[in-house]
Amino acid sequence: MNYISLRKIILYSVIINCLLSKETNAATVNLYINNDSPRSRNYNNPYKLVYNWHIVTGSTIFSSITVGKAGTIYVGSYDNKLYAINKEGKIIWSYLTDGKIYSSPLIDKNGIIYFGSNDKKLYALNPNGTKRWHFEAGGEIYSSPAIDKNGVIYFGSNDQKIYAINSDGTKKWDYKTGAEIYSASPSIDNYGNIYIGSNDNKLYSFHPSGIKNWEYETEGYVYSSAAFAKDGTIYFGSYDNYVYALNLNGTLKWRFKTEKMIYSSPTVGSDGVLYIGSYDHKLYAIYPNGSLKWAFIAGGTIYSKPKISRLGNIFVGSFDGRIYEISTEGKLLWNFKIGGPIYSNIAFGENDSIYVSSFDHKIYAFRKKLELTPSPWD
């Protein structure tokens, strides 16, 4: 199957999912923040998240938001542009490429912005939005880049390859997998090893030199990006419905079966609990031994990677168009319905603000608001 047919299948499945997604009946609940205990409610100091602003781009947004210095927000759109937006919701600049932007931007320590485009190019932009360089791959780039401690940038392409690019835009190495790397993005562990999934159903591990450490084969496409436990355990999901835990040498530690395919990437909490979404509309919390802690049911497929807030709560977007905030016990704390399905990851900004992009062409911002609620004991 060529990558164009595959892309159509994936996009059609997303559209069908949108049409079939059901409305959730979850009620909105205020979040009360206690500076001493993130899981306690302090009725003398209550806060909740409220809508702040939104801006409209020219097309659907698959790209996740990245927050840079001074709170600047970066995101790509299917209108071929990468946007830089200030925290007040004003567009600072936009950069036009020759293709749709699915890839999420990466920002290095010097403020350089890296992202891929469907014009087959990986771009490096200066903080002012001017082009620093571009590198042309052999296929469209849906994958989001990752960077190691030496400034080497890694990404996948529909030409079946993972690329390692030096900070000056020259190629360090590449490796051809057995199929397209549609949207799987690389992850880097504490040892500098690079991990990426492919549509050949495999997760690959590479040494920074480009030598393959190992490959692990599942029974479905691997779009999920790997996450790592403190002991080095590697977690990822597959289209075969399973969450996998692998040892550092690439052998299976355990696997956990969900009810449908997994596109979402996992997140690991400070207590070692793994969080991951599924096509079955559920957010799963899984103990390090592979047993289920809880499953939260949203109103639509969860493509979004769960994000953990400063207070330890889990934020995730769903294809039902809602942002969910969930406690570590699996209880709904807050949710908000925006104007379109959410495919991307939630991003955190200054002062506990959050940002999300949507298929309705918009970027949304929410801020923390003090709400003086009478004590229930009055």
pLDDT tens, per residue, the chain with 378 residues: 454 444 554 554 554 454 444 433 333 333 322 222 333 343 333 568 999 999 999 999 999 999 998 899 999 999 999 999 999 999 999 999 999 999 999 999 999 999 999 999 999 999 999 999 999 999 999 999 999 999 999 999 999 999 999 999 999 999 999 999 999 999 999 999 999 999 999 999 999 999 999 999 999 999 999 999 999 999 999 999 999 999 999 999 999 999 999 999 999 999 999 999 999 999 999 999 999 999 999 999 999 999 999 999 999 999 999 999 999 999 999 999 999 999 999 999 998 999 999 999 999 999 988 765 544 443
CB 211 within 8 A of CB 203: no
The whole-angstrom distance between residue 289's C-alpha and the CA centroid of its chain comes to 24
Residue 66 within any structural domain of the chain: yes
Question: Containing domain of residue 83, as a range?
Answer: 58-217
DSSP state of 239: T
181 inside domain: yes
Neighbours of 6 (CB within 10 A): 16
Q: What is the number of residues in the chain? A: 378
Instruction: Give the model's pLDDT for residue 30.
Output: 34
Name the DSSP letter for residue 16. H
Q: What do you get for the CA distance between the two ends of the chain, in Å?
A: 66
In this predicted structure, what is the pLDDT of residue 371?
63
**Partner residues linked to 214 by β-bridges:** 205
Instruction: Indicate whether 156 belongs to any domain.
Output: yes
The backbone region for 256, taken as left when phi is positive above 0, alpha when psi lies in -120 to 50, beta otherwise, is beta
Number of domains in the chain: 1
Helix %, strand %, coil % for the chain, to 5? 5, 40, 55
Q: For the segment 102-114, what is each residue's pLDDT rounded down to a tens digit?
A: 999 999 999 999 9
**Model pTM score:** 0.88
Residue 108: which residues within 8 A CB-CB, separation 6 or more?
114, 147, 151, 167
The pLDDT, as a whole number, for residue 17 is: 52
* Cβ 349 vs Cβ 71: under 8 Å: yes
Determine, yes or no, domain membership for 341: no
Does 363 map to a domain?
Answer: no
Using DSSP bridges, classify how beta strands 131-136 and 202-206 pair: parallel, antiparallel or unpaired: unpaired
197 found inside a domain? yes
- What's the confidence (pLDDT) of residue 13? 52
In angstroms, the CA 79 to CA 97 distance is 9
CATH of the domain at 101: 2.130.10.10
Residue-wise pLDDT tens digits, 63-111? 999 999 889 999 999 999 999 999 999 999 999 999 999 999 999 999 9
Is 374 inside any structural domain? no
Q: Determine, yes or no, domain membership for 244.
A: no
Give the whole-angstrom CA distance, residue 247 versus residue 233.
Answer: 5
- Tokens 């399973």 found at: 242
Q: How far apart are CA 378 and CA 374, in angstroms?
A: 7
